[in-house]
Structure formats: C-alpha cells, structure tokens
Structure 1
Amino acid sequence: MGRDLQLRSATREDLEWIHELRHRVYARELGQHAPNSIGRLRDGLDGDNVYLVAARGTDRIGFISLTPPWLKRYALEKYLSHEELPLLADDDLFEVRLLTVEPRWRASAAAPLLMYAALRWIASRGGRRVVAMGRTELLDMYLAAGLRPVGHTVRSGALTFEVLTGSVTELTRLTTHRHSTTVERLRTQVDWRLDAPFAARPDGCEHGGASFTAIGTDFSSLHRRHRVLAADVLDAWFPPAPGVRAALADDPEWAARTSPPTGAEGLLAEIARVRALPVGTLVPGAGSSDLIFRAFGQWLTPQSRVLLLDPGYGEYAHVTERVIGCRVDRLRLRREDGWRMDPEQLSAAVEDGRYDLVVVVNPNNPTGRHAPADELRSVIATAPTRTRWWIDEAYLGYVDMGESLADLAATDPRVVVCSSLSKMYALSGMRAAYLVAEAATATELRRRTPPWSVSLPAQLAAVAALRDPAYYKGCWLRTHALRRQLATDLAGLDEAVTVEEAVANWLTVTLPADGPSAAQLVQECRRRDVHLRDLSPMSSEYQGRTVRIAVRDTAENERIVAAFRAALDSLRPGPAPLVPMSGDVSVC
C-alpha cells in the first residue's frame, strides 16, 4: 500500500458501494442473509450510522460501521435485550459493526486500519466503551486488538458471532504500546481524511492550548502571538491588575534569581485575610493541576471509586482513570435539562457510600452552569461520612465568591475546595492556586508539598492581585457584557446553530446534526489563526458538534465571529478536505 491509501468518512457515492458489497459478502459469500434481486443489503440504521471507508486511488477497499450512543438504538438489540446485555444502556457505548473488506484486499492491512480508524473516531467523540459482534472464525483478530468476549454468542443466518467489548482507554493504550510500529508505518502510508487526530498523545490527556503550538512552543517565533487568537483556553481577556504589573516590573532581575518563601507563607497569609480563613487550612500549589495530582495521588488507589460530572473538566478523568487507575463512574448532565446538576440525583448516587471521592466543578467547565451553594451544602450534609468531596471553584469569581464552600471545607474533614488564581485573576502564566481543607488534612498535604512550589514572581503577582478586588470585580462584570454580545453575534450567523452562554468567561456553540462537525469547524478557524475548543472528546453528550469559545475583548470577539462565519461558509457546500490531523484534539 502506498500514499494513495485513503481513509475517509463515507460519501453518498460510497453508500451504494457499501450496500452492494454487503450483499456480495453477507448474502452471496457467507450466507448470513438471503440474496435479493436488487443486489443490495440495507438495514434500519443505515440512515444514521457512520461509515468509514478505506480506498486506494479510485478503488474502494473496505468499510466499517459505527453506531453512536445518541441514536438510542443498536443493531445488537435485535439479538439481546438490555437485561441480557446491560452495557447496552451505557451512555458512552459505541457499537462497531460490519467490518468488511473487498476479497482481493483481505491479506492487506485494510482491516486493522479500519479498526484503528474506528477507535480514533470514537475517542474523538467522547466514547468510553465499544461493543461489537465478531465472526467466530475471525475471533483471534479481535482478541489481538484488545476486545474481550462478554459471554454471549449470536447466531445470524449461517454465521456465528461472539459479542465483544472493550474500554476505549485500554484499547488506545494497547494500540499505542503493542502496535506502535504498525501505527507509525500506517501514518506514513495513509492519506488520513477523518476529522479525528491520527494518534492520541502519549499521555492520553489533551489540554487546551493548541494555540501555543501555532505560536511556537520553542519560543523562537513569539511575534506570532499577535496573530494567533487563543480562544481555546479560558485565560482572561483582561490584563492583571496595575499592582500586579508594578510588582513584576519593579525588579525582575531580583525576582528571577531569588528563591521565594519556601512555603509561600506570605501568599497564604494574604489568602487567609481575603477569604477570612485560618491560614492553617490552606495549601499552596503551582496551579490547580499541581494540587489535583498531589492530593489525589495521596488519597486514591486503583481500588478507589470516584464519581465525576459528565461533561466535566478532563483533568479529573485523566488523573483518576489513567494515572491512578481508579474505578470511575459519571453523573450525566444533559443538554435537555439545561446541563443542570440535579441535587436529588447526586444525593441518590452517593447515598450508599460507595464513593471514596466525588468531584464537583462549580461553575462547571465546560457546561458553564453553576450549582447554588445551598444545594451542594444540603447534599454533602446528608452524604455518607466516608465520602470525600472535592469542590473546584476555579471560575467562581464570575458568579459570586459568597457562593464558595471554603468555610465548610475549613471545618468539615470530608470537604476540600480548590481555587485557582489563574483564570479569574489573569495569572495563567504565573501558575498559582490554593486549596482549603480541615487543618489536619491541610497539614498532611503541606508536608507532601515540595519547597518553593510557587515561584517568586507568581507569589508577588498573586498577593498584588488579591489586594485589588475592585479592579477584578469590574473585569468580571465587563466579561458578562462581552459574552452576551459575542453570543448575540454568533447566533445571528446561522439560525441552525445553538449558542449557550456560560456563567463565566466562555460560551458554547452547537452545530446542527446535518452540518459540519465541531472538529471541521475548529480546523477551518485555525486556518485563520483563530483557535476554538472542540468539546467532542470530553463527552459523547456533545455528539461531535459543540465548540467552546473563550470570551476575548471587543476587537478579538469580532475576529472570532468573522472566522466562524468564514468557516461555516467554506463548509456549507459539503465537508471540505481536511488537513491530516495530529494528536492535538483537546479533552482536558
């Protein structure tokens, strides 16, 4: 196979060939179905399924079919009920079926390539588990790919199928480690035209900030920062307070060469003053991720059970599932409910005490909804004593700091509040954060905190920021006005798109089901140096159609709207050819 080997989503022209090949293979060759006079095989899922096609030049080689969970039906339901196969009720289950290759290409890499493409497409849409029916005579191929039998065998016509399943995370890990040579060889051979990256990052966790890749992570082309519009991360659009700029400019040579206070004592004292908290309940960190890794690594083991919100900030899934290996469940938030977290549903989920840790991001990123503090207090009050609660308040300033649960965390050993100074105070580059915990918990975490964990420039900047609440309050209020105008302008571009405002410094835009995917739109905007965030990998609830956009200043927001309009126009006639994508889709 040469570079003319192509992997793409099926076109209308491909569908006729797919139906004809299915008839040739499953009716005439294998006897699963009776032959028919039209020489075509179709089924009730054809209009909604996703087909991926492998082709070489003008010759189509093979295809694979995917059924996403938002269709609310699977082909397997013709053979097994939900009682017999409970995983059919999973919110994130994708069905993989009908892997079919033209006879003369069956000795090639076409089948493994199609299986790999299916895995990458599913991961790019937030899938966490797959289910498939594998012909028994090909079982070794499916087992080698990492799929495992669930204990059900299905008979259809002359064929027998084994029902198989696998975790997307585990299948990706297996592919990355066991088949890395094959994957790299295919990368050089395949014209990859899917709107999913060819490969996942080695650590399996994608953050926002692909915009910095466009600027240049080696810092040799920093002049590009004036051209690249970074709306894919939630950094503040406004500068830090005047006092912050003065503190950083006063003696930068001294600040660069001087070791900071070992435990950020002055910063903790300032936080204690501003938040009216005992200093002994505070732990400093170089950003919230530092605190998440440090605390979770101490508290959790592979035997721990954790509950996360879904959709929710991807760092938590990464640390609990991929780094520590916990058993993770998800409380599903749904668009039709306005992404609201139902306190009764949360209470019911935790009442039996099965969870070692419950994570609540409030306001939630990426849904942009805020759960009232009184609701959360009530849920926690009635929850089992063995369950620890981690409340992430990184964006709470945009709502009301009076809604914080920090006072509860300072006295209740079950509750920890994490608060970043990055996004609310325009200090993302400084990396400063803190958590609030009951004194004994805080003491133990400080004992495990490396000395000088927060740099001297970061400590200087954070202290100065906390001393100017009026400045930041004005910035937060201005953010709401900018967000409302941006939402109005984006909604006016196309009545088929759905714009949802967050309570903080972002909004989301969902494209219609018959329009371009979020990945395609993001790619088109990047051509114009405007970087948006494709939310698809974070949750299957987004159905591959939702982008998140950070609020910027007036001029930059106008540029976002212009790029969005141009991207929609370029994609309307049909899916534009995609530049081969690398592993930069964001999930965290």
Structure 2
Amino acid sequence: MNAGNRPKPRQAIAAMPQYSSAAGASQVTWRASSNESVVAPSPGVLDAIARAGATAHLYPSLLGDGLVADIAARLHVTRRQVVVGAGSLALLQQALSTYTGHGTEVVFGWRSYEAYPILAGVAGAIAVPVPLDTDGAHDLDAMLAAVTPSTRAVIVCSPNNPTGTEVGRDSLEAFLDLVPSTVLVLMDEAYQEFSARPLDGVALLDAYPNLAVFRTFSKAYGLAGLRAGYMVTSEQIADSVRAASPPFGLNAVAEAAARAAWMDPSYIARVVQLVAEGRDRLRAGLAERGVHTPASGGNFVWIPLPDGARELGTGCLARGVSVRVFDGEGVRVTVGERAAEDAVLAAVDDLAATAPARLRM
C-alpha cells in the first residue's frame, strides 16, 4: 500500500490546537494542575458506584432519566429542560455541533477554557477569541462587538478558567439583552459551587430563551474520573441537543454516583470550605511576596506571569507539585491541599531568589 494514500482528517481538524496536559503530573507528590477535588468521594457515593458496577453488563437508561429527574426537581425546571451527559464538556460539544457548523462563528473570551477553540473546530465553526480585560475578566462589550451575522454561539465562562474572575448578574443581563436572539449563549458554570457570589444562570432562563447553562459533577462533587455533567436550557434547545446526542451518553456508574453526590450537601460544603480557605491562604502568601492575583471564584488561583510562567512551573515540579502552565501568560494552581500550596509558595521564593524579574507582571 502506498504510504501516502491514507485517510486524511478534515483540514480544520488537522490544524486544531491540542488539549494540553500538565508536565510531570504523573510523577509528583501533589497534582495541582487539573482542578480536581482533593477530597475522595463520600462513602455514600462509593456505595452507589459499587451497586451500579454490579450491573455493568446492562445498558444504562437512554437519557440518564433518574439524574434528569433529580436535577429538574432541585432546580425547579421541567425534565425536558435538562440534558445530561459525559461531563459538561461533552454537552458543550453537542450543543455546538447542533447549532453551529461550517462558515459560522463561535465567540468566547480568551484566555479561557482551552477546549473552546477545539470544540468549535470539531463542529466546523470558526473560533473567535476575544481578549480578556486587564483584570483577567470577560470584556463583554468587546465580545458583543465581535458578534457578526455569522455568529451562532457565544460562550461565557464564569468563574472563568483559568483566571477565576466572575461575571456579575447585572453585567450578564445587560449583555444578554443585546445579544441577538438567534445567537445561542452558552454559560459555562463548571466552578459555580465554589463562588462566594455565584451567578445562577438557571434563574435567567425564562427571560432569555437563547441561554443554555452547563454544570459538572467533576469539580465540587469530586467525580472527575467518572464524567457526568448537565445542561439546563429551554425545552426547544434541549430537544434539539438531545436529537444530536448519542444514545446512552451517560454511563450507569456515573449516573449512580452523580445522584448520590447530588443528595450529599455536607460533602459539598466541606469541599467548598476547604477550597475557600486554600484560595485565601495561597493568595495571601503570594501577596506577601508582592505577587498580585485576581480574586477567584473557582477551586484554583491564577498567577499572572507573562515572563516567568514556565520557570515557576519547573520550580513547582522540583518541589513535587504539578501546576498548569500557560507559557507567556501565567500559572493556574488548584487549591485544597495545604502541602501543595506551601510547595508553590516555596517555588515562588526560589524564583524570586534566582530570577526576580520573572515575577514582574
């Protein structure tokens, strides 16, 4: 067979950026690079996992019916408004595949979740990143200005990953008032539980029928390894996304674990408190060293370092902790493990001693 005659991917797929992984993450003492929970699932969740695993020879429910019912009851929406799947990331992909495509545009703030340009590319759409403002927050006015007749979707991430900044309700409503009603607004609230002043996009659905809200069980609920998330939107949008989704999109073990976690508010409260204390502690330690960080609504702290991100990441690895490095921009540190936070501060001290100019922002 001629080696040159092979199946070739679409040009857009071949040119897409790759989702990055933290260097050395598998060889360190502490993983502060992927925004995972530092707390293992509760005993009730582990019991639910074991029970579901015992019937793994059977198909799960077609649409995650039990979890859909739980979410609808808790959030006071109809079951038709809820779509569940293998994490909010998979649901974002399904929504973009349903509402965008070749020749259309997807607008989002940048830097934000690095999967967004990948998701847009897979859908065949053109990614339109809009720079954050000087505080690392979404510049909603600039995002509005980027909307064109070709725009089919806009993504707003709050709290924003990786900067942790949040969009206020008044600002979001003013933004939604001006976005064309034909443009789907995807509100990514993956870190909503960690916010001290959470923006509840679900409460805005009645007023804005072009809004869809995405949340996950990966972060505060500690189920990153099982992949479970949900979308809440209008019944019409939800019906369309379900039509474009694969059947059995949520496995039975993930559904059982998510349902058990959903019913365990004491676990969530403990995780959220641990994160809030870690954020405050790490930010205070960095401030003492003259390193400014934006207030974060996520389970992480963003350290803006245009010149020293790679060096700090290397120093953290040397201290036994992996962090997420965005070269030329900054470093994101997951919080919750006190020893890991101390290791990051020690790495900052090392960098200050060897290359203090690298810490200038």
Asked if Structure 1 and Structure 2 have the same fold, meaning a TM-score greater than 0.5 normalized by the shorter chain, the answer is: yes
1:501 offset after TM fit, Å? 3.5
Q: Taking structure 1 as reference, are residues 554 and 528 closer, same or farther at Cα in structure 2, changes over 3 Å only?
A: closer
Q: Secondary structure at the match of 2:331?
A: strand
Q: Taking structure 1 as reference, are residues 332 and 501 closer, same or farther at Cα in structure 2, changes over 3 Å only?
A: same
The one-letter code matched in structure 2 to 1:329 is V
Q: Secondary structure at the match of 2:54?
A: helix
Alignment-derived partner of residue 306 in structure 1:
106
Q: Structure 1 residue 327 and structure 2 residue 123: aligned?
A: no
Alignment-derived partner of residue 523 in structure 1:
314
1:486 offset after TM fit, Å? 1.4
Q: Secondary structure at the match of 2:221?
A: coil
Q: Taking structure 1 as reference, are residues 563 and 347 closer, same or farther at Cα in structure 2, changes over 3 Å only?
A: closer
Cα shift readout 1:185-216 (whole Å, capped 9, x = no counterpart) = xxxxxxxxxxxxxxxxxx6312344455x25x
Q: Secondary structure at the match of 1:498?
A: coil
What RMSD in Å do the two structures reach over aligned CA positions? Answer: 2.9
Q: Taking structure 1 as reference, are residues 469 and 302 closer, same or farther at Cα in structure 2, changes over 3 Å only?
A: same
Alignment-derived partner of residue 238 in structure 1:
39
The one-letter code matched in structure 1 to 2:355 is R
1:330 offset after TM fit, Å? 2.9
C-alpha distance in 2, partners of 1:489/1:370?
22
C-alpha distance in 2, partners of 1:574/1:403?
37
More displaced stretch, 257-266 vs 237-246: 237-246
More displaced stretch, 480-489 vs 340-349: 340-349
C-alpha distance in 2, partners of 1:402/1:573?
36
Cα pair 2:312 2:347 within 8 Å, conserved: no
Alignment-derived partner of residue 504 in structure 1:
298
The one-letter code matched in structure 1 to 2:92 is I
C-alpha distance in 1, partners of 2:199/2:91?
21
Cα shift readout 1:459-490 (whole Å, capped 9, x = no counterpart) = 11100111122431342133111111112223
C-alpha distance in 1, partners of 2:278/2:70?
31
Cα pair 1:241 1:472 within 8 Å, conserved: no
Q: Structure 1 residue 264 and structure 2 residue 264: aligned?
A: no
User: Please, what TM-score do these two structures have when normalized by structure 2?
Assistant: 0.85
Q: Secondary structure at the match of 2:269?
A: helix
Alignment-derived partner of residue 159 in structure 2:
363
Q: Secondary structure at the match of 2:260?
A: helix
Cα shift readout 1:322-354 (whole Å, capped 9, x = no counterpart) = 33442333332122xx2233444444544x655
Alignment-derived partner of residue 19 in structure 2:
206
User: Please, what TM-score do these two structures have when normalized by structure 1?
Assistant: 0.54
Q: Secondary structure at the match of 1:453?
A: coil
Cα shift readout 1:225-250 (whole Å, capped 9, x = no counterpart) = xx43111111122233342133224x
Cα pair 2:32 2:340 within 8 Å, conserved: no
Q: Structure 1 residue 282 and structure 2 residue 82: aligned?
A: yes
Alignment-derived partner of residue 175 in structure 2:
379
The one-letter code matched in structure 1 to 2:136 is W
Matches within 5 A, 1:142-153: none
C-alpha distance in 1, partners of 2:294/2:342?
18
More displaced stretch, 501-510 vs 414-423: 501-510
The one-letter code matched in structure 2 to 1:269 is A
Cα pair 2:216 2:230 within 8 Å, conserved: yes
The one-letter code matched in structure 2 to 1:572 is A
Identity %: 27
Cα shift readout 1:36-87 (whole Å, capped 9, x = no counterpart) = xxxxxxxxxxxxxxxxxxxxxxxxxxxxxxxxxxxxxxxxxxxxxxxxxxxx
Runs of 4+ with deviation above 6 angstroms: none
The one-letter code matched in structure 1 to 2:127 is V
Q: Taking structure 1 as reference, are residues 574 and 430 closer, same or farther at Cα in structure 2, changes over 3 Å only?
A: same
Alignment-derived partner of residue 107 in structure 1:
none
Alignment-derived partner of residue 486 in structure 1:
282
Cα pair 1:479 1:505 within 8 Å, conserved: yes
The one-letter code matched in structure 2 to 1:530 is V
1:403 offset after TM fit, Å? 2.5
Cα pair 2:52 2:252 within 8 Å, conserved: no
Cα pair 2:96 2:153 within 8 Å, conserved: no
Cα shift readout 1:423-467 (whole Å, capped 9, x = no counterpart) = 121111110001112112212222232222112221111001111
Q: Tell which structure's C-alpha radius of gyration is larger.
A: 1
1:171 offset after TM fit, Å? 12
Q: Which has the higher contact order (CA 8 A, sep 6+)?
A: 2
Equivalent of 1:420 in 216, 241, 246: 216
